[in-house]
Structure 1
Amino acid sequence: MHITDHLQPGSVALNRQADSLQAALQILVELMAAGGNLTDTQAFAADVQAREALGGTCVGGGLAIPHAKSAAVREPGLAALTLDPPLACDTPDGEPLRMMFLIAAPADANDLHVQVLAELATLMLDKDLCERLIGAESPQAFCDLIAEQEAADEPKAKHKKHTKPEAWRFVAVTACPTGLAHTYLAAEALQKAAQDRGVRLKVETDGAAGVSNPLTPDDIAGADCIIVAADRAVSTARFVGKRMVSVSAREAIRNPGAVLDRAAESNVPVYRGGDGFRANDWREQCREAYRHLMSGISHMLPFVVAGGVLIALALLFAQLGAPSPVTDMMDTVGRAAFVLIYPVLAAFIAYSISDMPAFMPGLMGGYLAQLGTTIGPEENWVSSGFWGALVAGFAAGLLIRLLNWIGRKLPSELEQVRTGLLTPVLSLLGVGALMVLIVNPPLGHFNLWLCDLLDTMQGGSRLALGALLGALMATDYGGPINKAAYLTGTLALVSNQYDIMAAVMVGGMVPPLAVGLSCLLFPNRFTPAERRTAPQNLLMGASFVTEGALSFALRDPLRVGPACIIGSGLAGFLSVLQNCGCPAPHGGIFLIAVIRNPPGFLLALAAGSLLGAVLLALLKKPLRG
């Protein structure tokens, strides 16, 4: 594949002016439309902007390669633009943009845009070529320079050891528990590191909206190594027989170059199937257990979020005088969603461990945990809640593995009897007995004690809890500690402990707001690229997206971390002090109408954010020049 197959002189504009990145993108879209590649210019422009919102496409060195797959693309194409004067915008190295390429691919074109992106990024590693392209006298001369470079590179390509030019050097899968920020940040970080190293990389993102850019069998077969950067279980059976590196999404964000370098080493083990539970390395076993847990939590959270929002809306509409049947219906549906969270958690933990046969016993184990079923009278049952569902999920998954191992010793003629009768019955019996006889009685009493403890925690102890949970929300910006604090808030929400959820939410909102405010109030402490992210961070903070501060924390953890933790701790403390309450687990400032004591919540948020901003400025030294 050649760049000049998709780039024509009519789609090249030289030395144009643009006062913003959006204006430059619009010029490129118009060039693409002029080349006859589009069926709907406005729809394609919207798709380009939507892709840009997921993460910047500036690759450094004054170059940006925006791209989009769209149903408005008739046939794939490229457009190119050079800017004079250069455009100052958010770039990795702070250099203004001087040249941009826009890639357009049809919606059903699989990974065509990624192939073009890889070819283009590799070509642009030649800085001398970039300078000559920026100085080209005409669109035709611009295209001729690229054609000459591709022709000169072809003899070198014949001597490469890859089996075919289209083969990927690496392929990767990224995923995080919520399927939002970390999934795509990890993908972008790996792609940027691959471009810097001049290697080919295709990344499949397993996000909240589903799988994007899926790996095909040919992609996997042609890869030298597979990279799995995930904090929850993903499908790995397709990688059996390939060399595979497994890391967390956070590690891929923090140090993508080291992950790629590790994948390039010759001693990377071949994946033989199974997971960390079958490994001798206890670290891998812990990592795998965490992924199974996060798989269950990622499926549970939509029930918590949707149910909580419906309950909050029911309260709001009731205050506005809406008819009671409407508010009663919303409240009933929302609380019904809460009833399902523990069965769903257990079912998907079990499914993550042992696939479909484990789903039923996991679901039933979670249901028994929800009911608190014991052999005693029903009026004495107490739900074992989250901890009971956790035990049920892992027990169901591991029990299915044990039954499958035993079942392999049975004659093949009994295979259908084993899978259709023996395994379901024995697994349900085993998990049911475990929950009813062993797990529910003590954990039910533990949950009852814990609820009583929270109810009796008043004064200083309640304030300390709010401060602690707020601080924990700012500890690792969407990582395990943040998720644990958030889970504490959602579980308290189920028990109508709305003040705890308020402390958790305000604590999670502070970090992006703090760094955004610090950029605005103390600009001499931050680079131009960092200052340009201030509006984005303010919006993410207002929306309760803690991950907005992640890029700052990765660059300067010793200063950003303490500032955000102290600010979030103060916000959580003030929230509880002023008896704020939040009846929904997500929404941020947009839930202000249903939050108990809105002025107090806003005061806690403002105080924590301002303290974090000031501390960050005090810890950072002014930049020179």
Structure 2
Amino acid sequence: MSNELKNLRTYLMTGVSYMIPIVVIGGVLIALSIALSGVEAGTGANVTNPILSKMLNIGVKAFGLMVPVLAGFIAFGIAERPGLAPGLVGGALANEIGAGFLGGIIAGFVAGYTAKWIKTWKVPTQLRAIMPIFVIPLLGSLVVGTVMYIIGAPISSLMESMTNGLKSMGTSNAVILAIIMGAMIAFDMGGPVNKVAFMFGAAMIGEGVYTVMGPVAVAICIPPLAMGVATLLSPKKYSEAEKEAGKGAIAMGLIGITEGAIPFAAADPIRVIPSIVTGSAIGAAIAAMGKVGDHAPHGGPIVLPVVDNKVMFMVAVIVGVAVAAFMVNALKKEVQEEIIENDDPGEIDIEF
């Protein structure tokens, strides 16, 4: 059972890893085009410049590929090349029926396991050559398409109910939601938990609710900025490689790329992950209390021109970064203190 759960996570992360560049392309281009065009009260973004309009369109098209790419490469991870086409088809259907991110995950697993099962069929020698390029993609697409049309309505209804529930929330509930979403954003820094929170915030923009993406936009940039700042505040607690990574993390944080904190979390998850989760949750809560809104499906200071209540946005980011940076440095020891010599001079032990 544990091996199977590990495999499921591996397949999911395969899809997420291929989706990340699409998220970056779409998010940054949309944010830049809107930021350079401005936002009008009551109407939101107003991109009229022809060049910026084309930039926005590129970003929107990239965002439209997120769910198909996610589903396609989940299926690819399970069944290799024969699973890719059914996964892409299932992801496109998830977009069409409004099932969104969760629907794409389901489509990827259905397509992948269907293709993997069909690969085990005993077929005549004459059919073997066309199985991976015709039979498996065709049958896999029919199966995943049928499943998506069956489950599409319930998933779409659930998302609609969540939207309506969010619109009716009071201030206190909005803060609690922001804390949860801020923690999710930081927990796996671009992984599936992060993407659920991000996609929910982005979906709310389409519903005219900008005060969900606002806290998410704050939480997105806190992990990389905090780890970069932490290396500057306590350089003795980080290796040379980590200090170099810290510079890159600050740059990534400024344009809303949470993955900039991954090298630090991979090296020291016990101290880093709780710190950035705490910082992002607090930053998101402050943003919710300040009614910060974000009109672009992206995060970090790059979206500041399209943010409602810019002062509170920056206050939330600064407080969140400070909390995470001071917390992780309080938990960490100096690098020299963590290296303990053992009986063999050719080896060292690292104390965690």
TM-score (norm: length of structure 1): 0.45
Partners of 1:354 and 1:622 in 2: CA distance: 45
Query: 345, 357, 360: which one pairs with 2:70?
Result: 345
Structure 1 residue 493: deviation in Å?
0.8
Change (3 A) 1:456 1:300: farther
1:284 is aligned to 2:284: no
- Give SS of 1:533's match: helix
> What's the counterpart of residue 306 of structure 1?
25
1:594 is aligned to 2:313: no
> What's the counterpart of residue 59 of structure 2?
334
Query: 97, 113, 125: which one pairs with 1:398?
Result: 113
Partners of 1:335 and 1:472 in 2: CA distance: 24
Structure 1 residue 334: deviation in Å?
3.0
Partners of 1:422 and 1:305 in 2: CA distance: 35
Structure 1 residue 479: deviation in Å?
7.3
> What's the counterpart of residue 201 of structure 2?
492
> What's the counterpart of residue 317 of structure 1?
36
1:293 is aligned to 2:7: no
1:606 is aligned to 2:318: yes
- Give SS of 1:499's match: coil
> What's the counterpart of residue 469 of structure 1?
181
Partners of 1:334 and 1:309 in 2: CA distance: 7
Partners of 2:126 and 2:334 in 1: CA distance: 76
> What's the counterpart of residue 341 of structure 2?
none
For the 8 Å contact 2:217–2:300, the answer to whether it is kept is yes
Mapping 1:28-427, distance limit 5 Å:
282-319=1-38, 323-372=48-97, 383-406=98-121, 408=122, 410-416=123-129, 418=131, 422-427=135-140
For the 8 Å contact 1:503–1:575, the answer to whether it is kept is yes
> What's the counterpart of residue 350 of structure 2?
none
1:345-399: per-residue Cα shift (whole Å, max 9, x none)? 2222222222232222222222222222xxxxxxxxxx12222222221111211
Change (3 A) 1:344 1:491: farther
- Give SS of 1:570's match: helix
1:475-499: per-residue Cα shift (whole Å, max 9, x none)? 45x375xx41244213421441543
Query: 252, 259, 282: which one pairs with 1:570?
Result: 282
TM-score (norm: length of structure 2): 0.76
Structure 1 residue 585: deviation in Å?
5.1
For the 8 Å contact 2:89–2:141, the answer to whether it is kept is yes
For the 8 Å contact 2:179–2:282, the answer to whether it is kept is yes
Change (3 A) 1:288 1:598: same
Partners of 2:254 and 2:133 in 1: CA distance: 51
Partners of 2:310 and 2:214 in 1: CA distance: 11
For 1:389, give the aligned amino acid.
G
1:279-312: per-residue Cα shift (whole Å, max 9, x none)? xxx2222222222222222233333332233332
> Which one has more relative contact order, counting CA pairs under 8 Å at least 6 apart?
2
Change (3 A) 1:455 1:299: farther
For the 8 Å contact 1:346–1:365, the answer to whether it is kept is yes
Change (3 A) 1:503 1:357: same
Structure 1 residue 446: deviation in Å?
1.5
For the 8 Å contact 1:471–1:568, the answer to whether it is kept is yes
1:407-437: per-residue Cα shift (whole Å, max 9, x none)? x2x321343565565434433322222222x
For the 8 Å contact 1:490–1:501, the answer to whether it is kept is no
For the 8 Å contact 2:239–2:335, the answer to whether it is kept is no
- Give SS of 1:489's match: helix
Change (3 A) 1:576 1:396: same
For 1:431, give the aligned amino acid.
V
- Give SS of 2:120's match: helix
Partners of 1:528 and 1:402 in 2: CA distance: 48
Change (3 A) 1:432 1:519: closer
Give aligned pairs, total. Answer: 326
> What's the counterpart of residue 278 of structure 1?
none
Change (3 A) 1:540 1:308: closer
Partners of 1:322 and 1:397 in 2: CA distance: 40
Percent identity for Structure 1 against Structure 2:
32
Partners of 1:539 and 1:402 in 2: CA distance: 45
Partners of 1:520 and 1:417 in 2: CA distance: 58
Query: 144, 167, 189: which one pairs with 1:431?
Result: 144
> What's the counterpart of residue 533 of structure 1?
243
For the 8 Å contact 1:343–1:365, the answer to whether it is kept is yes
Larger Rg: 1
Partners of 1:623 and 1:394 in 2: CA distance: 43
Structure 1 residue 550: deviation in Å?
5.8
Change (3 A) 1:458 1:311: farther
1:241-292: per-residue Cα shift (whole Å, max 9, x none)? xxxxxxxxxxxxxxxxxxxxxxxxxxxxxxxxxxxxxxxxx22222222222
Partners of 2:17 and 2:36 in 1: CA distance: 29
Change (3 A) 1:587 1:454: closer
Partners of 1:555 and 1:356 in 2: CA distance: 33
RMSD value, Cα: 3.7
For the 8 Å contact 2:221–2:253, the answer to whether it is kept is yes
For the 8 Å contact 2:185–2:198, the answer to whether it is kept is no
Contiguous gaps of at least 5 residues in structure 1: 1-281, 373-382
Structure 1 residue 326: deviation in Å?
4.0
For the 8 Å contact 2:101–2:196, the answer to whether it is kept is no
Contiguous gaps of at least 5 residues in structure 2: 40-45, 338-352
